């Protein structure tokens, strides 16, 4: 079978890797996208005209219009957990299987959250920038994590792992998640409003969906303590960025750190990232070799199952897979 790996060369290098590419080539005939820009719908249809399977990165959309005009396409394999940019209903109507990878970046993202908390508390980035610019950094009182309270919004895989790290660091752990069951007596399960009022560090890890759009807006930010820090490692659409910018400029919260935002490719918005009390990284929370190989190697296993006519782990619409090859 023929597979189109839709990653650009840079995305292929950073988010797929040679080892997984070799694994993919071992189970299918692989065609690589060599352009520097992500394939839009028209270009994707052209590139995948003879493809049985598309393996797509986060920049490659799966709009509904592509599935009826790609009659050979059997599966759309997403090299990530987030499949919001794929029209699963349209794929199902056309009989195309859609798959997603499991979260391989739990430790990586949780570790970045700890790094953000240390940096925000101790002014590491700020002092380093001053030294690099030839300025004498201001000496300011920091805050230690031990004895502070972390508020984790969203108690999924990352939230649970981060809670363990925070406990090991001597932090009080607060969690807001109406859908989670928490049986750890060392974790306080609170309504969101109470968490915001008590936490020294608010870490947003909630799932991005219609219900969580602008979850952190002006009202939520107003409940935070003035010395508290806000950290977003989920998705930009959970945050009212204008409200966050105003709170940061007015000193209503002490600062923020973000690895995501509403800029293209889920990057932090430049307007927020340039503020003096903000730390921003370019969506690299899951960019470690271990995390990337977890997800890319999972797509190799999925493609092997699809080639064999079997339903792979990670299939989201198997009941509608009418273009399934015969085993």
pLDDT in tens, 34-45: 999 999 999 999
Q: Which residues are CB-contacts of 95 (< 8 A; sequence separation ≥ 6)?
A: 320, 321, 322, 323
Instruction: Tell the CATH topology of 106-280.
Output: Rossmann fold (3.40.50)
Q: What is the pLDDT of residue 74?
A: 98
Task: Return the CATH superfamily for domain 2-104+288-320.
Answer: NAD(P)-binding Rossmann-like Domain (3.40.50.720)
Q: What is the pLDDT of residue 315?
A: 98
pLDDT tens across 75-113, in order?
999 998 889 889 999 999 999 999 999 988 999 999 999
pLDDT tens across 238-264, in order?
999 999 999 999 999 999 999 999 998
pLDDT by 10s per residue, the chain, length 327: 999 999 999 999 988 999 999 999 999 999 999 999 999 999 999 999 999 999 999 889 999 999 999 999 999 999 988 898 899 999 999 999 999 999 889 999 999 999 999 999 999 999 999 999 999 999 999 999 999 999 999 999 999 999 999 999 999 999 999 999 999 999 999 999 999 999 999 999 999 888 999 999 999 999 999 999 999 999 999 999 999 999 999 999 999 999 999 998 889 999 999 999 999 999 999 999 998 899 999 999 999 999 999 999 999 999 999 999 987
Q: What is the pLDDT of residue 327?
A: 72
The torsion region of residue 17 among left (phi > 0), alpha (psi -120 to 50) and beta comes to: left
Which residues are 49's β-sheet partners? none
Q: How would you label 232-270 residue by residue, b for 16+ Cβ within 10 Å and e otherwise?
A: bbbbbbbbbbebbbebbeeebbbbbbbbbbebeebbbbe
Q: What is the pLDDT of residue 103?
A: 85
Q: What is the pLDDT of residue 84?
A: 87
Q: How far apart are the first and last CA of the chain?
A: 13
Q: What is the pLDDT of residue 326?
A: 82
Q: Are 32 and 276 in contact (CB under 8 A)?
A: no
Residue corresponding to tokens 């939520």: 220
Domain ranges of the chain: 2-104+288-320, 106-280
pTM over 0.75: yes
């Amino acid at each position: 079978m023929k597979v189109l790996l839709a990653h650009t060369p840079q995305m292929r290098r950073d988010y797929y890797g040679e080892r997984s590419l070799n694994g993919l080539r071992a189970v299918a005939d692989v065609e690589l996208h060599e352009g520097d820009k992500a394939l839009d719908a028209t270009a994707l249809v052209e590139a995948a005209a003879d493809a049985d399977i598309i393996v797509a990165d986060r920049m490659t959309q799966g709009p509904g219009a592509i599935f009826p005009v790609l009659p050979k396409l059997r599966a759309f394999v997403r090299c990530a957990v987030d499949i919001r940019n794929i029209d699963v209903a349209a794929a199902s109507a056309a009989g195309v299987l859609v798959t997603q990878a499991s979260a391989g970046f739990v430790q990586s993202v949780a570790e970045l959250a700890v790094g953000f908390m240390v940096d925000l508390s101790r002014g590491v980035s700020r002092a380093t920038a001053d030294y690099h610019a030839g300025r004498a950094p201001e000496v300011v009182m920091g805050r230690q994590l031990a004895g502070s309270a972390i508020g984790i919004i969203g108690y999924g895989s990352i939230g649970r792992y981060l809670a363990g790290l925070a406990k090991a660091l001597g932090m009080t752990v607060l969690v807001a998640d109406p859908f989670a069951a928490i049986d750890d007596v060392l974790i306080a399960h609170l309504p969101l409003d109470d968490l915001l009022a008590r936490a020294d560090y608010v870490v947003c890890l909630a799932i991005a969906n219609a219900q969580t759009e602008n979850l952190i807006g002006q009202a939520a930010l107003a409940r935070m303590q003035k010395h508290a820090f806000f950290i977003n490692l989920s998705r930009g659409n959970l945050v009212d960025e204008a409200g966050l910018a105003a709170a940061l400029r007015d000193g209503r919260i002490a600062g923020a750190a973000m690895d995501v935002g509403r800029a293209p490719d889920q990057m932090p918005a430049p307007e927020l990232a340039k503020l003096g009390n903000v730390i921003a990284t370019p969506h690299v929370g899951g960019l470690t070799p271990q995390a990337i190989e977890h997800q890319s190697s999972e797509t190799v296993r999925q493609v092997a199952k699809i080639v064999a006519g079997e339903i792979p782990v990670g299939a989201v619409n198997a009941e509608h897979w009418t273009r399934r090859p015969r085993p």
